[in-house]
Structure 1
Amino acid sequence: MPDVLNKPSGGSAPRNPTVIVVVLALAGISVSLMQTLVIPLVPDLPRLLDSSPADTAWIVTATLLAAAVATPVAGRLGDMYGKRRMLLVSLVLMTAGSALCALSDSLLPMLAGRVLQGLSAGVIPLGISVMRDEMPAERLGSATALMSASLGVGSALGLPLAALVADNFDWHFLFWGSAVLGALGATLVLLLVPESRVRTGGSFDLLGALGLSAALVSLLLAMSKGADWGWGSGTTLGLFAGAVVILLAWGRFELRTPQPLVKLRTIARREVLFTNLAGAAFGFSLFSLQMLVPQIVQLPERTGYGLGGDLLTVGLVMAPQGLVLMLMAPVSATISRAKGPKVTLMTGAVVVASGYALNLVLMSEIWQLILVACIIGAGVGLAYGALPLLLMGAVPPSETAATNSVNTLMRAIGTSIASALAGVIIAQMTTTFGGQALPSENAFKVIMAIGCGAALVSLALASFLPGRRPSVGASSTGNATKEPLAKADTSGARD
């Protein structure tokens, strides 16, 4: 029966709120950079690694699968054994994986390095949890908003940086740079971020972790490779069916386990459930745009809707979105303080839906795509700032890392669904130019409409959330002492 343990801080790190925010946000951005790091290399990977395109495609897929497995596990271990400790483990894994990729000239070590990079995906939810335990209440909203937005910031800024390096230097420098960022992040966390005093104790649910990992790998593998294997193929359908069966068995097991990996009854609470579903819908909306812009920019001008740009141009179009995401963090916190995070989340949904609606008529010039990307980025920034506040208002401090990890996982599932659906639409709705089949203009407009619809789904989901303002934050001394309105549970499986 796990109890909340208030252990002494594991080190002499100063509790300077600004320092903690900067260090954790930089760590989050450095980890999220890895998601777009290989995009400029994808067409050249078969030649660079002397392998087939089908095999090198696993370099992207392996990272996705590793991140899905690692995120909930890192969150639970952080709640049990220390969030700073798991932050350091995650950053060390990222550094090691980046160095291994930098030393690679063949497929297998590159795959191994990308898996290690994926295992660092828990940094962002862990960072949010550290902030809850260490930040003064008046700083918590803006700090967690910035940390939550770092996932989108890193992805948006990573593409132009990676394209610039890939065009002008040896491709290995991309990964050496990532290794340096990981090592720097780990050093700063070690020196400047204190260990959280809030622990759950108890034992780790290994069977639950294995079951959830098997279900997530089956689900995400089917979604990411279904287009290649065929959506009606036995392999794809078998993986989907396997994911459903494993999830049902895993859920039954977790409900009966005294100390589960994921407290399903907590996840089923209205505040947590609808926040996670809204997070998945926002992940879908954000990635839909990131699927659209590169293709529209790079399609030939002779199509009448392509802009004839290169990958560096794509990066420069997307980079302002990352800056807007970052700038919206304090705005999100201000709205949440005044009106509550539910209103912030709903406002973000309206802004994202408006951006996609505008995109339906503004897609013929570079400046128009930049404008749309910034509007959608502003909406996502508002929403990403509200999500952790809603969750922290629903669970006790001892469950913060695990709960935020599930939300991060739901956003990743939303992006995977967006990728799969957009791939199907683009493959089915084509037109021929010069004997070459290319995505039609209507294909992009359908994806835009679906992105707008996903934002409106988020709006509907947010409307079911309680209208109260959660009581979360830290005391003036910097330690998490305020319990949320959802009272801490110490009854084992009954939460």
Structure 2
Amino acid sequence: MSHTPAPPTGTGRSAPPRPNAVVAVLALAGITVSLMQTLVIPIVPELPRYLNATPSDAAWAVTATLLAASVATPVAGRLGDMFGKRRLLLVSLVLLVSGSVVCALSDALVPMIIGRALQGLAAAVVPLGISIMRDELPPERLAGSTALMSASLGVGGALGLPAAAFIAEHFDWHVLFWTSAALGVVSLGLVRTLVPESRVRAGGRFDVLGALGIAAGLVSLLLAVSKGADWGWGSGTTLGLLALAVVVLLAWGFYELRTAQPLVDLRTTARRQVLVTNLASVAFGFSMFAMSLVLPQLLQLPTQTGYGLGRSMLTVGLVMAPQGLVMMAMAPVSAAITKARGPKITLMTGAVVVAVGYGLSILLMSEVWHLILVSCVIGAGVGFAYGAMPALIMGAVPASETAAANSLNTLMRSIGTSVASAVAGVILARMTTSLGGHPLPSENGFKTVMAMGAGAAVLAFLLASFLPRHRPAGPADAPSAAAEPTAEPVA
């Protein structure tokens, strides 16, 4: 696939990009977008009262973000490759700010759902940022910078929880959304000022039918997974949506393989390095989110259960925050291992560390410091893995397909987290104990979920073992014979 260089004056700046500024601004944008994951967690129990809605209807304020993100990520990635990654990143940030303002001004369900959906449409910022880094940074800076950008998916969520809990506890709940709007405006201004537009373009025609097909398939799949517990896993609605997802996605794949300019190049996606990395990303997404579901509940359950710690949501946030700092600190370590031994070893190391963290969690669940230790160990492993994934993806695709390939990888992680939420919900709903006549998740239920998180990490390790072996950087490392001359090989 050919690419069309943009005019040198396309960014409005003649000066070369400043790597430190580009990395810092893109990482801030990634963290800002990932904050949307945890922004509403502190107010979820109160949303029905705030919005004058039933609990099941209010839950759409969370589901809408997930569904919008699943659709926007692959579409924005492809549009970024075609028309400019910085341009699509700016559009994504505008959508985030718009959605935040809509939510901040709303006191009813419908505008809240619309605003949360607009926030979800900004989910492609992280893969777009990684792709900009590939195009603009010197090769020696690429591994560490993309590792940091990739880790921002988890960093923002972890650091955002205590901040959101503090705001929700001390201010009107609308301040949460005004804060996210302000962060979005700051990120937007910095990207507009300091980040250049890449001259690597894929060109071609946008695959509208492919976009509609993947949107229909993903929405059907994730809607069934996220709402199955409410509707019943054996209900006609849930089973019908799952069946529809299978049919639509198979038909979509058949179409994509036969169209000249597909939304997702499935032949590139089927390359061993890309395919295995994406499968491992699903497992890591599951593994990471399992902990995010268990630890807050353990901290908040009353001490009368014998295993709950009876802490506030603010304490939950403070316990989870170090995990984000550890993930950020692991970015340069991940890059160093990737440079020395290759991203395959980095990914496998991350899987081992995550599995060890979950093993510790089964034994250490009775004190606050136990949970801080567990979250930090798991966060370190996730930091290793998330740092390796962009290197693996970019080492196997041409530069003109970088944004689309990274977006698909981000989507795979999101699917893993959605499946983790559904599976953990089923387990915790069935393995219960009673306190004052009210059913609560049992200690064994939590341990089962954590054991499944460890199992997912082991699965990711096994999948990573099928990745090609690392070779020293050189001409033979070019992603493919069809890759553009601007594509930098990633070790």
**TM-score range for the pair, normalised by the shorter chain length:** over 0.9
1:487 counterpart letter in structure 2: A
Kept in 1: contact 2:432–2:439 (CA 8 A): yes
Equivalent residue number for residue 348 of structure 2 = 346
Return the match for 1:305 from 300, 304, 307. Answer: 307
Return the match for 1:85 from 87, 96, 100. Answer: 87
Once residues 210 and 384 of structure 1 are traced to their aligned partners in structure 2, the CA distance between those partners, rounded to angstroms, is 29
SS in 1 for 2:439: strand
Once residues 250 and 395 of structure 1 are traced to their aligned partners in structure 2, the CA distance between those partners, rounded to angstroms, is 21
Kept in 2: contact 1:393–1:471 (CA 8 A): no
Once residues 376 and 382 of structure 1 are traced to their aligned partners in structure 2, the CA distance between those partners, rounded to angstroms, is 10
For residue 433 of structure 1, report the CA deviation from its aligned partner: 1.8
Instruction: Count residues with an aligned counterpart.
Output: 481
Equivalent residue number for residue 192 of structure 1 = 194
Seen in structure 2, the aligned counterparts of structure 1 residues 4 and 88 have a Cα distance that, compared at 3 Å, is: same
Kept in 1: contact 2:341–2:470 (CA 8 A): no
| Structure 1 unaligned spans of 5+ | 473-480, 491-495
SS in 2 for 1:403: helix
Equivalent residue number for residue 485 of structure 1 = 479
Matched, 1:380 2:372: no
Kept in 2: contact 1:102–1:175 (CA 8 A): yes
Return the match for 2:405 from 394, 403, 406. Answer: 403
Kept in 2: contact 1:36–1:155 (CA 8 A): yes
Matched, 1:31 2:30: no
**Residue by residue, what CA displacement relative to the aligned partner does 1:171-226 show, whole Å, maximum 9, x if unpaired?**
11110010011111111111100000100000100000000000000000000000
Equivalent residue number for residue 136 of structure 2 = 134
TM-score normalised by L of structure 1: 0.95
**Residue by residue, what CA displacement relative to the aligned partner does 1:462-486 show, whole Å, maximum 9, x if unpaired?**
00001124859xxxxxxxx997332
Once residues 104 and 195 of structure 1 are traced to their aligned partners in structure 2, the CA distance between those partners, rounded to angstroms, is 35
Equivalent residue number for residue 314 of structure 1 = 316
Once residues 165 and 247 of structure 2 are traced to their aligned partners in structure 1, the CA distance between those partners, rounded to angstroms, is 42
Once residues 156 and 58 of structure 2 are traced to their aligned partners in structure 1, the CA distance between those partners, rounded to angstroms, is 23
Which consecutive segments of 4 or more residues in structure 1 shift more than 3 A? Answer: 469-472
Matched, 1:4 2:6: no
Equivalent residue number for residue 493 of structure 1 = none
Kept in 1: contact 2:302–2:310 (CA 8 A): yes
Seen in structure 2, the aligned counterparts of structure 1 residues 471 and 248 have a Cα distance that, compared at 3 Å, is: farther
SS in 2 for 1:5: coil
Once residues 459 and 56 of structure 2 are traced to their aligned partners in structure 1, the CA distance between those partners, rounded to angstroms, is 35
Equivalent residue number for residue 487 of structure 2 = none
2:396 counterpart letter in structure 1: A
Kept in 2: contact 1:14–1:192 (CA 8 A): no
For residue 155 of structure 1, report the CA deviation from its aligned partner: 0.6
Once residues 223 and 30 of structure 1 are traced to their aligned partners in structure 2, the CA distance between those partners, rounded to angstroms, is 26
| Structure 2 unaligned spans of 5+ | 485-491
**Residue by residue, what CA displacement relative to the aligned partner does 1:374-401 show, whole Å, maximum 9, x if unpaired?**
0000000000000000011000111100
SS in 2 for 1:211: helix
Kept in 2: contact 1:392–1:400 (CA 8 A): yes
Equivalent residue number for residue 335 of structure 2 = 333
Once residues 174 and 8 of structure 1 are traced to their aligned partners in structure 2, the CA distance between those partners, rounded to angstroms, is 41
Seen in structure 2, the aligned counterparts of structure 1 residues 263 and 318 have a Cα distance that, compared at 3 Å, is: same
Kept in 1: contact 2:92–2:121 (CA 8 A): yes
TM-score normalised by L of structure 2: 0.96
SS in 1 for 2:17: coil
1:388 counterpart letter in structure 2: P
Equivalent residue number for residue 22 of structure 1 = 24
Once residues 85 and 3 of structure 1 are traced to their aligned partners in structure 2, the CA distance between those partners, rounded to angstroms, is 20
Equivalent residue number for residue 489 of structure 2 = none
Equivalent residue number for residue 273 of structure 2 = 271
Q: Aligned ranges for residues 162-177 of structure 1 at < 5 Å?
A: 162-177=164-179
Equivalent residue number for residue 209 of structure 1 = 211
Kept in 1: contact 2:399–2:483 (CA 8 A): no
For residue 489 of structure 1, report the CA deviation from its aligned partner: 5.7
Q: Aligned ranges for residues 55-454 of structure 1 at < 5 Å?
A: 55-454=57-456
Equivalent residue number for residue 462 of structure 1 = 464
1:4 counterpart letter in structure 2: H
Equivalent residue number for residue 477 of structure 1 = none
Once residues 470 and 428 of structure 2 are traced to their aligned partners in structure 1, the CA distance between those partners, rounded to angstroms, is 42
For residue 302 of structure 1, report the CA deviation from its aligned partner: 1.1
Once residues 87 and 129 of structure 2 are traced to their aligned partners in structure 1, the CA distance between those partners, rounded to angstroms, is 11
Once residues 336 and 449 of structure 2 are traced to their aligned partners in structure 1, the CA distance between those partners, rounded to angstroms, is 32
Once residues 481 and 314 of structure 2 are traced to their aligned partners in structure 1, the CA distance between those partners, rounded to angstroms, is 50
Equivalent residue number for residue 478 of structure 1 = none
- How many percent of aligned residue pairs carry the same amino acid? 69
Kept in 2: contact 1:208–1:253 (CA 8 A): yes
For residue 51 of structure 1, report the CA deviation from its aligned partner: 1.4
Seen in structure 2, the aligned counterparts of structure 1 residues 470 and 170 have a Cα distance that, compared at 3 Å, is: farther
C-alpha RMSD over aligned residues? 1.4
Seen in structure 2, the aligned counterparts of structure 1 residues 99 and 46 have a Cα distance that, compared at 3 Å, is: same
For residue 487 of structure 1, report the CA deviation from its aligned partner: 2.8
For residue 7 of structure 1, report the CA deviation from its aligned partner: 1.9
1:106 counterpart letter in structure 2: A
2:478 counterpart letter in structure 1: P
1:352 counterpart letter in structure 2: V
Kept in 2: contact 1:395–1:488 (CA 8 A): no
**Residue by residue, what CA displacement relative to the aligned partner does 1:12-50 show, whole Å, maximum 9, x if unpaired?**
164100000000000000000011000111111111111
SS in 1 for 2:434: strand
